[in-house]
Amino acid sequence: MDVQTVEASPNAPESQGFDGGKRVKSRKRHIATDTLGLLVVLIVTAGGVQDSAGGKRILDTLAAQWPTITKTWVDAGYNNGVVRHGAAHGIDVEVVARDKEQKGFVVQPIRWRVEQTFGIMSRYRRLHRDYEALPDRSRSIIHWAMVNSMTTRLTASPDRTGQYLRPKP
């Protein structure tokens, strides 16, 4: 699970909020992916919603729609309330924290898949910034982008080496 803040369109002031960490009027995309980086749960909220509050909503949705999920990994932006909320649903929430001695960007184990999904989203022009007036439209555009990404993975030729496919041995 992770969250991404994107600058929102000025067309919908009631469905955006101020994100104090990024200092921008924005919306947040709270997502949960599987271990392949495929989107499982998506929630779009105003930028003022805390990461932990969105994380609890994701856990509620995961528990209701995907009862077989028993573990999820999150970054240090989620508090202990999310861990307890997950435990109440039977989901083990593990916080993957950075090593304090690390300098600069270092890929975190397991969590890089959710970051890869955000990277896939950012390749689509309409997702680089949230241009939609309604959060439901934003969700629809994100779902279209993920469908496009999955069909690209499925229809790629076997000899193609790219972002999603490993070369044939």
Query: Rounded mean pLDDT of the chain?
Result: 82
> Is 104 a domain residue?
yes
- What percentage of the chain reaches a pLDDT higher than 70? 84
Tell me the pLDDT tens digit for each residue of 134-157. Answer: 788 888 988 998 999 888 888 876
Between 85 and 26, the more confident residue is 85
What is the pLDDT at residue 19?
A: 63
Nearest CA-CA partner of 78 in 55, 112, 106, 59: 55
73-76-79-82 Cα dihedral, nearest 10 degrees: -10
Considering its fold, how many domains does the chain have in total?
1
> Is 165 a domain residue?
no
> Looking at 14-167, which runs of residues are DSSP E strands?
17-19, 24-33, 39-46, 71-74, 92-95
> Is 80 a domain residue?
yes
> Is 164 a domain residue?
no
| CA–CA distances in Å: residue 110 to residues 19, 32, 46, 96, 104 | 27, 13, 27, 8, 18
Tell me the pLDDT tens digit for each residue of 82-125. Answer: 999 999 999 999 888 877 887 777 777 777 888 888 888 888 87
Q: Within 10 A of 10 (CB to CB), how many other CB atoms are there?
A: 10
Task: Determine contact, residues 19/47, Cβ cutoff 8 Å.
Answer: yes
pTM of the predicted model over 0.85: no
Task: Determine contact, residues 42/65, Cβ cutoff 8 Å.
Answer: no
> Is 103 a domain residue?
yes
Between 158 and 110, the more confident residue is 110
What is the pLDDT at residue 22?
A: 65
- Range from 12-21, 61-70, 78-87, 151-160 carrying the lowest mean pLDDT: 12-21
Task: Determine contact, residues 61/89, Cβ cutoff 8 Å.
Answer: no
Q: Where residue 34 sits, what CATH number does that domain have? A: 3.30.420
Handedness of CA 3, 134, 16, 65 (dihedral sign): negative
> Is 85 a domain residue?
yes
> Is 158 a domain residue?
no
> Is 138 a domain residue?
yes
- State mean pLDDT over 10-19: 66
Domain span holding position 21:
2-151
